[in-house]
Structure 1
Amino acid sequence: MAGEFTAQMSVSRGRWRLYVVLLNTTERWPEFGFGRALPVPTFTERTDALSVLGFEPLPGAEWTWTEDSETPDDPASPVCLIAAIRVRSWTGVDA
């Protein structure tokens, strides 16, 4: 699986999870569970999790955060935070 992808991190069932979005495939998306809601996983923890999944951030890529709601069109709905970063398959070789 070579190429560039988007990795996302969000809270599911009260725990942070990181997953790599694989479009146009029936393959299961690679996923890493942090096993907690707080504290939010650090940059280093996220990078380590990506490594476990076989990916690394693209050079110069930064995490971006998006706010969403659990119930669309309801301004009183609880907020969901989604973090995203562009990643590539990890080669194990410094470029």
Structure 2
Amino acid sequence: MTEYGARLSNSFHGEWELYVITDRMSLEWPEHSFGRTGPIPTLQERADALTRLGFVLADGAEWEWQESPTGVMDRVELLASATVQPKGGAA
């Protein structure tokens, strides 16, 4: 079954965005903007966004978090990643 990496990030304009890294060019990656800077999208909101994009979490996958300092005061960029697969197992 084909698997991809999903990313949840607040690095672009500070708003939360979820995107799926596929074998297409990055401009063609499926993406969903939550249209807000806070709070962090819940697990259910992330699952709903993935479903709208045609994906689901892979079996046993969990969201893993990373913090990256921005160099601006105490601000950090947050990045969560998880393994996903096409909804219904489609390639």
TM-score, structure 2 normalization:
0.84
Report the alpha carbon displacement of residue 77 of structure 1 after superposing the two structures with TM: 6.4
Q: Structure 1, unaligned stretches of length 5 or more?
A: none
Give 1 or 2 for the bigger CA radius of gyration. 1
1:88 matched to 2:80? The reply is no
Matches within 5 A, 1:38-49: 38-49=38-49
Q: Which residue of 2 aligns with 1:26?
A: 25
Q: Structure 2, unaligned stretches of length 5 or more?
A: none
CA RMSD of aligned residues (A): 2.0
State the number of aligned residues: 87
- Equivalent position amino acid for 1:34 in 2: F
- Equivalent position amino acid for 2:66 in 1: T
Q: What's the secondary structure of 1:52's corresponding residue?
A: helix
How many Å separate the matches in 1 of 2:46 and 2:58? 14
1:51 matched to 2:51? The reply is yes
Moved over 4 A (4+): none
- Equivalent position amino acid for 1:46 in 2: R
Matches within 5 A, 1:53-92: 53-71=53-71, 78-91=75-88
TM-score, structure 1 normalization:
0.81
Q: What's the secondary structure of 1:15's corresponding residue?
A: coil
Q: Which residue of 2 aligns with 1:16?
A: 16
Q: Percent identity?
A: 41
